Amino acid sequence: MLFLLAAATALTWTHLPACGGYVVQQTTQERAADAELVSHAYRATLPDQIGVVMAGGGWRIVWATPVEQEPGIFFFHGLPSDLKLVDIWGGPTQDRDEAANWAMHLGAPAAMAQCFATRLVQDGP
C-alpha cells in the first residue's frame, strides 16, 4: 500500500497542466548529450546521474549529479546547438513560489518555472 502511495505521489507533478510538454522523455543518446552539456558548463567530469529534463522556449533544465558533488538543477538557455549555462539551483526547498519566482527571474517561461518548482518541492534536486 505504501509503495502505491509513493508511486502515485512521484507521478503527480508530471501530469500537472503547467508541465504539459516540458518534460522530455530521453533516449540514451540524449542523456549522454545532457551529461556532456552539464560537464562542459560545470567544468567537471561527466555527471554520475542525469535525472529529469525539461525543455521549451529556448530553455533546457537538467537535474544532474556531478561526480563528487551535490545534486543540482542546471538552467541552460539559447539555441539548441548553443545552450549556455544561466544558473544552477542547489538544495531542497518547500517554498514552491520562491522557486518558481527564481526561475522566472532567470527568464524561464512561467509555466515551465511552475513545473520546475512543483517537481523541486515534491522530489528535491
Q: What is the arrangement of strands in the sheet containing 49-56, beginning at the earlier edge strand?
A: 49-56, 59-65, 72-77, 84-90
Report the C-alpha gap between 112 and 6 in whole angstroms. Answer: 24
Inter-residue contact 59 to 76 (CB < 8 Å): yes
Could you tell me where the beta strands, DSSP code E, fall in the chain? Answer: 49-56, 59-65, 72-77, 84-90
Report the interhelical angle of 110-123 vs 2-12 (nearest 10°).
160
Q: Alpha carbon 50 to chain centroid distance?
A: 9
Average pLDDT score, the chain: 84
Report the C-alpha gap between 120 and 122 in whole angstroms. Answer: 5
pTM, full prediction: 0.84
Domain boundaries, the chain: 21-123
* pLDDT for residue 74 is more than 60: yes
Range 91-118 average pLDDT:
95
Q: Output the nine-digit C-alpha cell for 69.
A: 558533488
pLDDT band at 56 (very low <50, low <70, confident <90, very high): very high
